[in-house]
Amino acid sequence: MGQTYALLLHGGAGVLAARSYDPERMHMRELAEAGKAMLESGKTALDVVTEIVRRLEASGLYVAGKGASPNQAGRYELDAAIMDGATQKAGAVAALTGFVSPVHAARAVMEKTRHVMLAGRGAERFAGLQELERVESVNDYYTPAAAPDTRDIATGTVGCVALDVSGRIAAATSTGGTLNKLEGRVGDSPILGAGCWADGHVAVSCTGQGEFFLRKATAKDVSARMAYGGQGLAEAAQGAIADIGTMGGEGGLIAVDARGNLAQPFNSPGMKRAAVYPDGRITVEVD
């Protein structure tokens, strides 16, 4: 490919008609500009998706990281995954408590262990040993982005996919889960093949009602439609989301292929997202 780059980021499926989302729009544009600059400077797709998702987590504007929702036990359990298309190396954490950046913990699992996924106490212990930044005070840190009475927005998640100038693609997804989720509930976000995926064909990050994405292995499904069905990115991405709809599920995904094609289908009422196209153009949309 050479010198082509592209990026998509999302701040979760589901928007409310009554809100403007100006803060999210402004923030997503800022991140898209930052991602574009990183890609132009030659940063790897893996580093770019890590950094963009870290900033999405840190913003408190989405249901991930600082904006996460407490579960029914009142605890903040967070999930994240990251995958490198070039090597298909991957890392994930599920039901992680006590750390600022779940995507950094996922990246550390990928790079510092022979495992792919760590959950619960073990994930927490590992993150501690890696000296990742801890949440000092749970009550002070978290500012749940999901209003208690808005079920739709509470399915929010953040993610990023990117193609770098060396032709490598990568994906990362992070979530604070659904509001009032059962303690220990793991959705699609940290599940490779469901909410996050990258291989030689495509990098995908999903958002929405995670249980449906788990039951369809949606992120891998996009790749499989391309690899085995000869579908292009747009058809594959749209087909995977249509399958979610057939089951009665709502959500969306962002995807980039190795040529810099972008897809961002959703069947939910809106999806907060921003794109950096190969020609440098940036778009920010919520519906």
Query: Catalytic amino acids?
Result: 157
DSSP secondary-structure letter at 142?
-
137 backbone φψ class: left, alpha, beta (φ>0; ψ -120 to 50): beta
Are 241 and 266 in contact by the 8 Å Cβ rule? The answer is: yes
How many angstroms separate the CA atoms of 204 and 195, rounded?
Answer: 8
One-letter identity of residue 144: P
Q: Is 128 in the site for a copy of itself (CB under 8 A)?
A: no
- Interface with a copy of itself (CB under 8 A), residue from 32, 100, 123, 146: 123
Tokens 């249901």 locate to: 63
How many angstroms separate the CA atoms of 27 and 115, rounded?
Answer: 34
Could you tell me how many residues of this chain bind a copy of itself (CB under 8 A)? 51
CA 180 vs. chain centroid, Å, equals 20
- Interface with a copy of itself (CB under 8 A), residue from 161, 197, 204, 207: 197
- Interface with a copy of itself (CB under 8 A), residue from 20, 182, 280, 287: 182
Tell me the per-residue interface mask from 58 to 97 with a copy of itself, x by CB under 8 A, - otherwise.
Answer: -------------x-x---x-----x----xxx-x-xx--
Scan residues 201-220 and list those touching a copy of itself (CB under 8 A): 210-211, 214-217, 220
Are 278 and 260 in contact by the 8 Å Cβ rule? The answer is: yes
CB of 200 to a copy of itself, least distance (A): 12
C-beta of 166 vs 231, nearer to a copy of itself: 231
Q: Is 102 in the site for a copy of itself (CB under 8 A)?
A: no
Tell me the per-residue interface mask from 237 to 266 with a copy of itself, x by CB under 8 A, - otherwise.
Answer: ----------x-------------------
Stretch that binds a copy of itself, among 26-34, 37-45, 140-148, 175-183 (CB under 8 A): 175-183
Cα–Cα nearest to 208, from 160, 162, 245, 263 = 245
CA 27 vs. chain centroid, Å, equals 16
Tokens 């990281």 locate to: 65
Token duo for residue 263:
């897809």
C-beta of 4 vs 130, nearer to a copy of itself: 130
Using DSSP's 3-state secondary structure scheme, residue 134 falls into: strand
Q: Is 232 in the site for a copy of itself (CB under 8 A)?
A: no
Binding site for a copy of itself (CB under 8 A): 71, 73, 77, 83, 88-90, 92, 94-95, 113-126, 181-187, 191-194, 197, 210-211, 214-217, 220-221, 224-225, 227-229, 231, 247
